[in-house]
Structure 1
Amino acid sequence: MRKLTFAFAHLLIAATTLGAMSSASANDYPPRTVNMVAPAGAGGGWDLTIRTVAKTLKDENLVSSNLPVINRPGGGGAVNLTFMQTQKGKGDLISVYSPPILLTNLTGMTPYSYKDTTPLARLISDYAAFVVPQDSPYTSINQVMDALKKDPKSIKIGGISTAGSMDHIQFLLVAKAAGVKDLRDIDYVSFQDGGVVAQVLGGHIDLISTGLGDVAGLLESGKLRALAQTADKRIGEGAMAKIPTVKEQGIDVTFENWRGLFGPKDMPKEAVDYWRDALQKMTETAEWKAAMKRNGWEAAYQDQAEFEQFLSATNEQYKTLIQEVFR
């Protein structure tokens, strides 16, 4: 497997003053402000998740701090993960992550992984979705796979994560299960600035590989048409509930996009305890449950200890999957 280049760590670490935050202490926690970080641009799944968390916590009066949302994109989440190494021992940064916190390390893009953070809680499961413009000639995921079997360069795939990260990997896993060969030759283009929708609507790429919750609004608006999603059953409501699974189209694979929250490594105990309590209460609120239904998310709450066990086991599973896809 060709390792991706990691070239930005020292630059990020040198810029610690851009995000300097005060340490938490037992006497003054929580601080006036806790930065809620989406490690990608606006409009994606991480952004939607962290904004929903922040809004619910404030609406339900579960957190007294100000909770501004900061977008720190780059490297499929690796830029923010590198920045978090400058915040060790602090308690006023919370970041959302999902499979890329494992994948960017396993593919060699960054030396850091979930072990260089403080996992707090797993919240939800989302799934992959593959969408095309309404005027696309492809009306099923099998038509896409048939085209790739004939010529792996015939279809250009776009996503907001980097090559070798989640949007790329989830499509390759489906392609592999469908019998597509030469997976390395499939064209994948990353648009981390959030411009992937404009690219597919403009005809510059053919298909978007993304999260199911990310496309709900566009599906309702009629601009895009979803060919498939990777849950083991149809989920959500409205246009989302009409999206067929890849399994019901004869491709025997599923892919779960879990999402959870992480603090900096060595986050103070009082901060960890505070957030574990607040997040557990948040998941029981009517507002959070309504957001999950609206976005096609499934409840997947795990408290810190169980979440850490999940991360360890999932990291090993992803390692095997990457070796199978790129061998």
Structure 2
Amino acid sequence: MLKASKLVIATLITTSALMTFNSANAANYPPKTINMVAPSGAGGGWDLTIRTVAKTLKDTGIVKSNLPVTNRPGGGGAVNLAYMQTQKGKGNLISVYSPPILLTNLTGLTQFSYKDTTPIARLITDYAAFVVPENSRYKSIKDVMDALKKDPKSVKIGGTSAAGSMDHIQFLLVAKAAGVKNLRQIDYVSFQDGSLVAQALGGHVDLISTGLGDVAGLVKSGKLHALAQTADKRVGEGAIAKIPTVKESGIDVTFENWRGLFGPKDMPQAAVTYWRDAIKKMVKTDEWKAAVKRNGWDNAYQNDTQFKAFLGKTNQQYKTLIKEVFGR
């Protein structure tokens, strides 16, 4: 009886301590600094998205904490995903991801997946864009596909994601729909150090496969010429709205590059609740709506529960796509 009583008392003390701890977590959240992470170099789509989120949250006063942006590139996002495993249970890290968080796992580039994070919210949908220097011999996406049909190694493709991840996959999907054979022979080079545009302008790659929002500024400035984008309609405004869809070129395919926010696995409930409320407020602000329009994004907000369901369904769809393209 004495031992049983001691066990009950110990259990009550532990339970009480946990309740106090959780209560304190809720009362003390958010911390003074929350690290906002782009799992890529500066200047890419992840970088643009997380910096836009941080700026909007600060400018609107929705979040009072410091929101420094850190770039942690490598492995098409796999390096940062591995780092996030060392931050389990913490609430002071928010990272942006998109299809590579699924693709790098499905293609065997990393053992970790979205299931090893805490999904917070889906934000926007960007689209793939295929751009070339203004002096390029390719004037349309059809020109590129015609060249690849004759020789799959005749066009060198550059992207910021790892081989087998998003920038690579989205181009191969378009090439497959265009009737290009020997997809595995197409030269794809990954530049995760922020040098991709310079590589293209220097003639080291023929075409950039990337996100439309990533190169919107360069297209508007005239440094790069967009051959096509993968929405089912024209998007954006000004120079962006003039970019033809892949479908307009007779290639019957679309590709959505969604982007969302993730915390470490087992993120405290206080943090999950805080971010659910903060992001819900942010996407309704004029500042966020202006950024979405400016970058040619489509609003695709989902809260954490909806986002988890979306990720599960999309992961299964990507499995099918990879099998079709790579035969595995």
| Segments of 4+ moved more than 3 angstroms | none
2:169 partner amino acid: I
2:68 partner amino acid: P
Map 1:1-327 → 2, pairs under 5 A: 25-327=25-327
Shift of 1:124: 0.2
2:216 partner amino acid: A
Write the distance in 1 (CA, Å) between the matches of 2:307 and 2:26: 24
Q: Please list every run of 5 or more consecutive structure 2 residues that lacks an aligned counterpart in the other structure.
A: 1-23
2:28 partner SS: coil
Shift of 1:27: 2.7
Structure with more helix by fraction: 2
2:105 partner SS: helix
Write the distance in 1 (CA, Å) between the matches of 2:310 and 2:117: 15
Q: Please list every run of 5 or more consecutive structure 1 residues that lacks an aligned counterpart in the other structure.
A: 1-23
2:179 partner amino acid: G
- Counterpart of 2:17? none
- Counterpart of 1:21? none
2:27 partner SS: coil
Write the distance in 2 (CA, Å) between the matches of 1:182 and 1:176: 9
1:210 partner SS: strand
2:74 partner amino acid: G
- Counterpart of 2:14? none
Write the distance in 2 (CA, Å) between the matches of 1:308 and 1:43: 28
2:310 partner SS: helix
2:282 partner amino acid: M
Q: Give percent identity, aligned residues only.
A: 80
Write the distance in 2 (CA, Å) between the matches of 1:25 and 1:38: 26
Write the distance in 2 (CA, Å) between the matches of 1:192 and 1:268: 32
Shift of 1:220: 1.3
2:234 partner amino acid: R
Write the distance in 1 (CA, Å) between the matches of 2:113 and 2:323: 18
1:306 partner amino acid: Q
Shift of 1:144: 0.3
1:111 partner SS: coil
User: How big is each residue's C-alpha offset from its partner over 1:275-320, in whole Å with a ceiling of 9 and x where there is no partner?
Assistant: 0000000000000000000000000000111100000000000000
1:193 partner amino acid: D
Write the distance in 2 (CA, Å) between the matches of 1:103 and 1:278: 28
2:175 partner SS: helix
1:270 partner SS: helix
2:189 partner SS: strand
Write the distance in 2 (CA, Å) between the matches of 1:160 and 1:73: 10
Shift of 1:64: 1.3
- Counterpart of 1:10? none
2:108 partner SS: coil
- TM-score of the superposition, structure 1-length normalised? 0.92
Shift of 1:26: 2.1
1:26 partner SS: helix
Shift of 1:31: 0.2
Write the distance in 1 (CA, Å) between the matches of 2:241 and 2:99: 24
Write the distance in 2 (CA, Å) between the matches of 1:92 and 1:204: 40
- TM-score of the superposition, structure 2-length normalised? 0.92
Write the distance in 1 (CA, Å) between the matches of 2:199 and 2:70: 25
Shift of 1:186: 0.1
Considering only aligned residues, what root-mean-square deviation do their CA atoms show, in Å? 0.7
Write the distance in 2 (CA, Å) between the matches of 1:194 and 1:306: 33
1:118 partner SS: strand
User: How big is each residue's C-alpha offset from its partner over 1:218-247, in whole Å with a ceiling of 9 and x where there is no partner?
Assistant: 111111100000000000011110000000
**Greater C-alpha Rg:** 2
- Counterpart of 2:19? none
1:274 partner amino acid: Y
1:136 partner SS: coil
Shift of 1:159: 0.3
1:156 partner amino acid: K
